[in-house]
C-alpha cells in the first residue's frame, strides 16, 4: 500500500518524509497494549513513530497525521484502558482484538495474567467501549499429548460462558506449527509434545463449537483466522481481523474513513427507508498470508520485543532476545522506536 507521504519534524528537529496511513495496526508483531501503551501514546502525541523493516532493518517513519482508526491487539489490554479518553478527545476511532486463551495449567503463557484476571479486564473494557468493539480470540488452539479437542472445548466453554454478554464474536485459529520454524523450535526447546491439527481434528473442534453455541445459547459470530479449511457447515466463517465490514458498521459517520474504504453511504429517505451502503472496491491487504482476509493497514510493532514469552510465539526468535529488547526499551522509554 502506498500511503500518502507527509513532511514531518522529528524530535531532533530534522524535517523527514513519513508514510501517513489511515489505519494503524498495533500490533501483530508485539503486544503494544500490555507493555508499550505509555510509549505508544507518547508517540501519538509526538505525531509519528519510527519503525524498522523486519526483513532488512531499514527504518521507516510513520506519521499519525491521517490516522482515523487504530486496531489494538493484545493478551492484556489493562494498561491501555487509562489512555482511551485521549483517543476520544482526538476523535480517533478504535477497536480491540483481545486474545484470551486458557493455558494457565500448561504454563504456555508464563507472563500473561491468569485467565480469570483477563476475563475481568475483557469485561471492563467491553463495558467501557461497547461489546461490539472488543473481539474475543482463542488463538491459537494447541493440541498436545495432554490437551485433546474435548479439553480445548472445555476451556473455550468456560471463557465463553463468562463473555457471552460482552462480545459479539469469537475468532480462533489452529496452531500451524510446522510452517513456523520459530514456533517449532520454541516448543521443542521447551519439551512441549505438540500435535499438529489435521482435517479430522479441525472438524471435530468445529462441530463441538457449534454444539456449544447452541447449548449455551451463545450469540457470538464464530470465525477462523487465516485458515484455509472451510467450516461453513458449522456456521463458522473466515474472519477479517482488520475488517472493513465491521469498520463500516461501527464508524459510518467518519467520512474520511469511509472514503478511504471506497464506501458510499446513502442515508435513509422516504424513497429508501433503510438507506444503502455501497462498497466500490476490495480492500484486501495483499501483503498478508493468502488465507488472511484483512484489509490494508500499517502495523507499527516490531518482532522480538514481547516479554509475555509465550512458548508457541511466532514473533520472538527466543526469550533472551525479547527480554534484552524489553530491557533496552525500559532504559529509553521515550525513544522513537520500540527498541
Which residue carries 478504535 as its cell? 94
pLDDT of residue 189: 80
pLDDT of residue 2: 78
Tell me the residue ranges of DSSP E strands in 53-133: 59-63, 69-74, 93-99
- Counting Cβ atoms within 10 Å, is residue 186 exposed (0-12), middle (13-18) or buried (19+)? buried
Which residues make Cβ contacts (< 8 Å) with residue 259, sequence separation at least 6?
none
Which residues make Cβ contacts (< 8 Å) with residue 214, sequence separation at least 6?
none
pLDDT of residue 182: 77
* DSSP symbols for 125-187: HHHHH-GGGEEEEEEEE-EESS--HHHHHHHHHHHHHHHTTT-SEEEEEE---TT-HHHHHHH
Helix boundaries (H) for 11-114 = 32-35, 37-46, 84-89
Using only C-alpha atoms, the chain has a radius of gyration, in whole angstroms, of 20
Which residues make Cβ contacts (< 8 Å) with residue 160, sequence separation at least 6?
136, 170, 212, 216, 218, 220
- The yes-or-no verdict on residue 332 having pLDDT over 90 is yes
For 233, the grid coordinates are 457447515
- Label the pairing between strands 276-279 and 263-266: antiparallel
pLDDT of residue 270: 86
Taking CA 296 as the corner, what is the angle to CA 290 and CA 300, rounded to the nearest 5 degrees? 105
Of 151, 139, 154, the residue nearest 109 (C-alpha):
139
**How much is the pTM?**
0.97
CA distance 67 to 16: 18
pLDDT tens digits for range 160-218:
999 999 999 999 999 988 777 778 888 888 888 999 999 999 999 999 999 999 999 99
3-class secondary structure, 6 = strand
Q: What is the mean pLDDT of residues 227-246?
A: 97
pLDDT of residue 92: 98
pLDDT of residue 180: 77
- The yes-or-no verdict on residue 313 having pLDDT over 80 is yes
Which residues make Cβ contacts (< 8 Å) with residue 72, sequence separation at least 6?
26, 32, 33, 80, 94, 95, 96, 97
pLDDT tens digits for range 81-105:
999 999 999 999 999 999 999 999 9
What average pLDDT does the chain have? 95
pLDDT of residue 1: 74
Return the higher-pLDDT residue of 128 and 179: 128
Banded model confidence at residue 123, pLDDT cuts 50, 70, 90: very high
Banded model confidence at residue 267, pLDDT cuts 50, 70, 90: confident
pLDDT of residue 143: 97
Amino acid at each position: 500500500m502506498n500511503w500518502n507521504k507527509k513532511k514531518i519534524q522529528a524530535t531532533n528537529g530534522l524535517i523527514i518524509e513519513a508514510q501517513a496511513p489511515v489505519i494503524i495496526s498495533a500490533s501483530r508483531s508485539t503486544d503494544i497494549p500490555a507493555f508499550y501503551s505509555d510509549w505508544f501514546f507518547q508517540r501519538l502525541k509526538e505525531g509519528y513513530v519510527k519503525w524498522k523493516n523486519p526483513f532488512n532493518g531499514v527504518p521507516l517513519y510513520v506519521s499519525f497525521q491521517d490516522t482515523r482508526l487504530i486496531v489494538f491487539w493484545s493478551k492484556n489490554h489493562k494498561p491501555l484502558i487509562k489512555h482511551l479518553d485521549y483517543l476520544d478527545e482526538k476523535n480517533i476511532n478504535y477497536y480491540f482484538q483481545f486474545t484470551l486463551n486458557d493455558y494457565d495449567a500448561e504454563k504456555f503463557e508464563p507472563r500473561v495474567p491468569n485467565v480469570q484476571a483477563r476475563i475481568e479486564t475483557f469485561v471492563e473494557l467491553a463495558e467501557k467501549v461497547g461489546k461490539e468493539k472488543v473481539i474475543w480470540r482463542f488463538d491459537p488452539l494447541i493440541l498436545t499429548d495432554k490437551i485433546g479437542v474435548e479439553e480445548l472445548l472445555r476451556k473455550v466453554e468456560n471463557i465463553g460462558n463468562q463473555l457471552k454478554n460482552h462480545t459479539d464474536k469469537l475468532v480462533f485459529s489452529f496452531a500451524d506449527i510446522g510452517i513456523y520454524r520459530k514456533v517449532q523450535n520454541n516448543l521443542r526447546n521447551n519439551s512441549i509434545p505438540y500435535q499438529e491439527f489435521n482435517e479430522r481434528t479441525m472438524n471435530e473442534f468445529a462441530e463441538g463449537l457449534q454444539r456449544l453455541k447452541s447449548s449455551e445459547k451463545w450469540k457470538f459470530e464464530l470465525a477462523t483466522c487465516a485458515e484455509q479449511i472451510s467450516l461453513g457447515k458449522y456456521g463458522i466463517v473466515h474472519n477479517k481481523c482488520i475488517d472493513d465490514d465491521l469498520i463500516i458498521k461501527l464508524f459510518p459517520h467518519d467520512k474520511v474513513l469511509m472514503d478511504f474504504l471506497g464506501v458510499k453511504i446513502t442515508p435513509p429517505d422516504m424513497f429508501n427507508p433503510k438507506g444503502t451502503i455501497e462498497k466500490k472496491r476490495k480492500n484486501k491487504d495483499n501483503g498478508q498470508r493468502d488465507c488472511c482476509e484483512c484489509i490494508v493497514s500499517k502495523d507499527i510493532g516490531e518482532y522480538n520485543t514481547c516479554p509475555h514469552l509465550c512458548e508457541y510465539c511466532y514473533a520472538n526468535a527466543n526469550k533472551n532476545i525479547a527480554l534484552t529488547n524489553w530491557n533496552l526499551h525500559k532504559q529509553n522509554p521515550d525513544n522513537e522506536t520500540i527498541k
